[in-house]
């Protein structure tokens, strides 16, 4: 295990920082020279043109569908997205032809071409048996007919997804901007500009960890490379700890960042307008001393893009990643079909780029090399046109999803009940942490540590990372000594990049790991809210249940410690409002252990909330295997006169209030600890309220927008006839947490506040 103890010494000797140079347009070859060198064969060259034609024809179909000019579907009402990449075919096809079927890609909202190309070349590499498994209804035997059937099925499923059909790659739930084929390691296009870059980075982290000889090809546009999480991802990928010379086997992240520089974000240009560099490849110099092997490539030349990716892929598999390639390309259409382009482009500019058209240029090379004739070229074009038309007609006629299934696939209904044998083998680097019980009790934070240790011993896919969690053991020492037990491949520090922490966890989960990440304060979830809410929470649904995002985000709440407005917020209610995300908030050491173990095994993304006020709380915790189901509330105290529903630290205030009410008024108060807010054990709440007829709902969240309101709404809606009084809420003041301990005591709810609310009902 590398030792990262600082060896830094002051050295203020004058000097200069050399940033090196970035090569541009180095490929000087041609189809003839590539054929002569053996880097491509005649069949592969034709297939490369086939892929580009397929992409172009598919997207031109979309243009025609919008105006009713597509003859095979002249009456079809197409309502999907229209973000086209016409002109960029050489970038998608050239890159995807240079990677292996087992490799991953991520793409963008303008990603039809990337998706078509990735699956196209993966299908082309399949055996007859694999092809038959992909198109089991095909009645032909083998050979070219079987391959063509699989290709047509690919276009059918792509079109069906754009048309919102059940037979689409994502069952119509994702559409064109989120299209994916997870069976062939396309991890999804992304409608959030740059949103897929941290996912790609996390997937490459998983490839590195599992040493599976795979890599990730990450497509993103020029506009993305001004986005914060994208720059965080570049920094993440280049971290010294991933390729440090002190490591036993230095091995950088196997990822190729491809900037599809088509010169326009939406309408704004990076060059001379919204960026200070003329070449976006220079971004790499800010993150890596070797510039990530950055290179600018002619993105209009399929052989140039193929050459660059072949070299980068070889470097990634040899451990020299990450790589960054800027493909200089052009899109012929505007951001969408409602964009006429006339406000910000000239006809002369467009004409100059169209003179470099990638399909026309490569077709000429095939003719010059006598691989195709004008007749066979025309036949290939006709084949592609007819194949796409048949697929589109079939897609339009295919079944729509059942409206009754509108929220089907929102959550995975599976968990890791058994660990595959290859993942049950766990190496202990030094020794396990010593977690000592006193009279059978552990602290809340030691219970969390025991759960983490147990799950990491059970399954080597469980990794843990976050800010300062390694040598130091985290800001609150929850993870102290995990590094010594499991090593730096499984427990490591991260940059202060909450969005990248959560985004890479999404990608790592998609690629086969089960990451547990720590956010030092829950307030920092707002820095990562896109990756949590738009990525982690949505991909199971948007993929039509084709991928499970098995990750846990540990987020601690600092309220009650005088940390002020940016380190004290209890924000669990926000994430309860995000479908696709589970929210868990234990209040006792035993619950912390049992719920964390269950959360790590669950196949949904989980926000696991921990109160810093509770870290030192002691309580009995069962040893060994101990699991608590999600969505099962706990009746912490039984009663008959009034119900208090709460979670987190407020549960302890509720118990104190219940005891005081018993002592002072003889009231019998039932206290329910929700433990998980999503999924919610509504039945336990309703059963209690039907018994008592009165209810107070309490939490440490500010009242406005709090999940307490959701609980009250459910109670009023479903037990109205059983209520003897209104349902009341107790929460923090509708303000910002102050740093003054006097003011904070007034700001947060306490046992007396809960008791006073109860007295109003009694």
Res 3 pLDDT > 60: no
Angle between helices 112-124 and 42-67 (to 10 degrees): 140
- My answer on whether 152 and 193 are in the same domain is yes
Supply the DSSP symbol for 652. H
SS3 label, residue 192: coil
**pLDDT for 245 beyond 60:** no
Please indicate, yes or no, whether residues 456 and 605 belong to a single structural domain of this protein: yes
616 and 647 share one domain? no
* Predicted local distance difference test score (pLDDT) of residue 103: 98
What is the average pLDDT across 444-473?
98
Angle between helix 196-210 and 228-237 (nearest 10): 20
pLDDT of res. 690: 98
Predicted confidence at residue 85, as pLDDT, reads 95
Residue 473: CATH number of its domain: 3.40.50.970
Q: Is residue 94 part of a domain?
A: yes
Q: Are residues 672 and 612 in the same domain?
A: no
Of the residues 588, 620, 652, the one at which a domain ends: 620
Q: Is residue 394, in this structure, part of any structural domain at all?
A: yes
Mean pLDDT of 688-703: 98
Question: How far apart are the C-alpha atoms of 306 and 487, rounded to whole Å?
Answer: 38
Separation of alpha carbons 151 and 157, rounded Å: 10
pLDDT band with cut points at 50, 70 and 90 for residue 247: low
Flag whether 24 is in a domain: no
| Percentage of the chain exceeding pLDDT 90 | 94
| Residue that is last in its domain, among 565, 597, 620 | 620
Nearest-angstrom CA–CA distance, 462 and 449: 13
> In this structure, are 377 and 434 located in the same domain?
no
Q: What is the pLDDT of residue 413?
A: 97
Q: Do 387 and 466 lie in a common domain?
A: no
Q: What is the 8-class DSSP label of residue 139?
A: -
Which residues are designated catalytic?
A: 567
Residue 4 lies in a domain: no
Q: Is the pLDDT of residue 473 over 60?
A: yes
Predicted TM-score (pTM) of this structure: 0.96
pLDDT class for 744, splitting at 50, 70, 90?
very high
Q: Which domain holds residue 462?
A: 421-620
Task: Return the pLDDT at 630.
Answer: 98
Q: So what's the pLDDT on residue 271?
A: 87
H/E stretch holding 85 reads: none
**475: exposed, middle or buried (Cβ count in 10 Å: 0-12, 13-18, 19+):** middle
What's the whole-number mean pLDDT along residues 730-750?
96
pLDDT digits (tens, 9 = 90+) for 36-77: 999 999 999 999 999 999 999 999 999 999 889 999 999 999
Query: If pLDDT is split at 50, 70 and 90, which confidence band does 592 have?
Result: very high
Give the pLDDT band (50/70/90) at residue 291.
very high
- Between CA 27 and CA 42 the distance in angstroms is 20
Residue-wise pLDDT for 213-230, tens only, equals 999 999 999 999 999 999
Residue pair 451/608 in contact (Cβ under 8 Å)? The answer is no
CA separation, residue 688 to residues 624, 676, 699 (Å): 32, 17, 18
> CA 377, CA 360: separation in Å to the nearest integer?
11
Question: How large is the average pLDDT for residues 407-422?
Answer: 97
The domain spanning residue 668 has which CATH number?
3.40.50.920
* Mean pLDDT to the nearest integer, 459-476: 97
The pLDDT of 678-705, averaged and rounded, is 98
Burial of 401-432, coded b for 16+ CB within 10 Å and e otherwise, reads: beeeeeeebbbbeebbeebeeebeeeeeeeee
Confidence of residue 243 (pLDDT cuts 50, 70, 90): confident
Domain identity same for 562 and 666: no
Same domain, 610 and 663: no
Same domain, 575 and 710: no
Ramachandran category for residue 204: left, alpha or beta (phi over 0 → left; psi -120 to 50 → alpha): alpha
Residue 67 within a domain? yes
User: 625: burial class by Cβ within 10 Å (0-12, 13-18, 19+)?
Assistant: exposed
Residue 20 lies in a domain: no
Please enumerate, as own/partner, the contacts of 666-670 that have beta carbons within 8 Å and a separation of 24 or more: 667/639, 667/641, 667/642, 667/758, 667/762, 668/639, 668/640, 668/641, 668/642, 669/637, 669/639, 669/641, 669/642, 669/643, 669/644, 669/758, 670/635, 670/637, 670/638, 670/639, 670/640, 670/642, 670/643, 670/644
390 and 437 share a domain?
no
Query: pLDDT-based confidence at 554, cuts 50/70/90?
Result: very high
How many percent of the chain have pLDDT more than 70?
A: 98
- Report DSSP letters for 114-136, one per residue: HHHHHHHHHHHT--HHHHHHHST
Whether the CB-CB separation of 694 and 643 falls below 8 Å is answered with yes
pLDDT for 248: 62
With a cut of 70, say whether residue 249 has pLDDT above it: no
Split at pLDDT 50, 70, 90, the class of 6 is: low
| Structure confidence at residue 272 (pLDDT) | 87
Count how many domains the chain has.
Answer: 3
Inform me whether the pLDDT recorded for 157 exceeds 80: yes
Q: Contact, 235 vs 287, CB < 8 A?
A: yes
Q: What are phi and psi of 399, to 5 degrees?
A: -65, 145
Spatial distance between the Cα atoms of 367 and 46, rounded to a whole number of angstroms: 11
415 domain-assigned: no
Residue 2 has pLDDT above 60, yes or no: no
1 — pLDDT class (breaks 50, 70, 90): low
User: Across the chain, what does the average pLDDT equal?
Assistant: 96
CA–CA–CA angle 583, 181, 220 (5° rounding):
80
**Distance from C-alpha of 203 to C-alpha of 220, rounded to nearest angstrom:** 15
Tell me: the pLDDT tens digits for 352-373? 999 999 999 999 999 999 999 9
80 pLDDT above the threshold of 80: no
Residue 9: per-residue pLDDT = 86
**Judgement on whether residues 435 and 372 belong to the same structural domain of the protein:** no
Q: Of 398, 432, 462, which residue is a domain's last?
A: 398
Query: Does some domain include residue 192?
Result: yes
Asked whether residue 205 falls in the same domain as residue 293, the answer is yes
């Amino acid at each position: 295990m590398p030792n990262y103890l600082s060896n830094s010494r002051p050295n203020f000797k004058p000097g200069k920082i050399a940033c090196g140079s970035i090569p541009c347009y180095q490929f000087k070859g041609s189809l003839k020279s590539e054929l002569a060198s053996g880097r491509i064969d005649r069949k592969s060259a034709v297939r490369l043109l086939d892929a580009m034609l397929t992409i172009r024809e598919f997207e031109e179909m979309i243009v025609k569908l919008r105006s009713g000019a597509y003859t095979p579907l002249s009456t079809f009402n197409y309502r999907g997205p229209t973000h086209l990449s016409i002109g960029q075919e050489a970038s998608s096809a050239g890159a995807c032809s240079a990677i292996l079927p087992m490799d991953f890609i991520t793409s963008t909202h303008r990603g039809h071409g990337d998706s078509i190309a990735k699956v196209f070349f993966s299908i082309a590499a399949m055996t007859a048996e694999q092809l038959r498994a992909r198109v089991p209804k095909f009645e032909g035997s083998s050979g070219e007919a079987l391959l063509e059937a699989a290709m047509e099925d690919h276009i059918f499923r792509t079109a069906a997804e754009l048309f919102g059909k059940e037979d689409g790659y994502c069952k119509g739930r994702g559409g064109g901007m989120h299209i994916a084929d997870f069976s062939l390691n396309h991890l999804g296009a992304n409608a959030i500009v740059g949103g897929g870059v941290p996912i790609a980075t996390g997937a490459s982290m998983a490839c590195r960890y599992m040493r599976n000889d795979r890599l990730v090809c990450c497509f993103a546009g020029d506009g993305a490379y001004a986005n914060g999480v994208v720059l965080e991802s570049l920094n993440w990928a280049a971290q010294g700890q991933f390729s440090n010379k002190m490591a036993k086997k230095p091995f950088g992240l196997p990822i190729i960042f491809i900037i599809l520089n088509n010169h326009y974000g939406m309408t704004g240009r990076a060059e001379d307008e919204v960026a200070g560099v003329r070449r976006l490849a220079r971004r790499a110099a800010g993150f890596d001393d070797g510039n990530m092997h950055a290179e600018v490539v002619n993105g209009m030349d399929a052989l140039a893009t193929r050459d660059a990716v072949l070299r980068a892929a070889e470097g990634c598999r040899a451990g020299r990643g990450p790589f960054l390639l800027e493909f200089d390309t052009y899109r012929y259409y505007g951001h969408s079909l409602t964009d006429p382009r006339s406000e910000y482009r000239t006809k002369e500019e467009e004409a100059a780029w169209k003179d470099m058209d990638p399909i026309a240029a490569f077709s000429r090379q095939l003719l010059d090399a006598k691989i195709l004739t004008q007749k066979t070229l025309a036949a290939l074009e006709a084949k592609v046109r007819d194949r796409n038309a048949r697929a589109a007609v079939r897609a339009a006629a295919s079944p729509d999803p059942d409206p009754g299934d509108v929220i089907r696939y929102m959550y995975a209904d599976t968990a890791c009940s058994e660990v595959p044998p290859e993942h049950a083998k766990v190496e202990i680097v030094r020794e396990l942490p010593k977690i000592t019980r006193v009279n059978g009790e552990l602290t809340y934070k030691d219970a969390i540590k025991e759960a983490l240790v147990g799950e990491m011993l059970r399954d080597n896919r469980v990794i843990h990372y976050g800010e300062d969690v390694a040598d130091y053991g985290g800001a609150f020492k929850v993870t102290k000594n995990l590094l010594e037990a499991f090593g730096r491949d499984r427990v490591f520090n991260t940059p202060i990049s909450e969005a990248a922490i959560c985004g890479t966890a999404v990608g790592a989960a998609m690629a086969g790991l089960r990451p547990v990440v720590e956010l030092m304060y829950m307030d920092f979830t707002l820095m990562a809210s896109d990756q949590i809410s738009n990525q982690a929470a949505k991909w199971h649904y948007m993929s039509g249940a084709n991928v499970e995002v098995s990750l846990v985000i540990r987020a601690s709440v600092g309220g009650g410690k005088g940390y002020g407005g940016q380190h004290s917020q209890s924000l669990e209610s926000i994430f309860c409002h995000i479908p696709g995300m589970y929210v868990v908030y234990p209040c006792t050491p035993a619950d912390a252990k049992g719920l964390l173990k269950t959360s790590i095994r669950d196949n949904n993304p989980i926000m696991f909330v921990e109160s810093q006020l509770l870290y030192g709380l002691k309580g009995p915790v069962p040893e060994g295997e101990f699991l608590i189901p999600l969505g099962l509330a706990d009746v912490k105290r039984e009663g008959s006169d009034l119900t208090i529903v709460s979670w987190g630290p407020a549960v302890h205030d509720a118990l104190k209030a219940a005891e005081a009410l018993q002592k002072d008024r003889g009231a019998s108060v039932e206290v329910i600890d929700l433990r998980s807010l999503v999924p919610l054990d509504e039945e336990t709440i309703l059963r209690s309220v039907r018994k008592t007829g009165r209810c107070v709902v309490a939490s440490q969240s500010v009242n406005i927008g709090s999940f307490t309101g959701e609980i009250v709404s459910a109670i009023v809606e479903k037990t109205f006839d059983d209520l003897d009084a209104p349902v009341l809420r107790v929460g923090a003041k509708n303000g910002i947490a102050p740093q003054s301990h006097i003011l904070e005591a007034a700001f947060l709810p306490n046992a007396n506040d809960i008791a006073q609310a109860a007295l109003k009902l009694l």
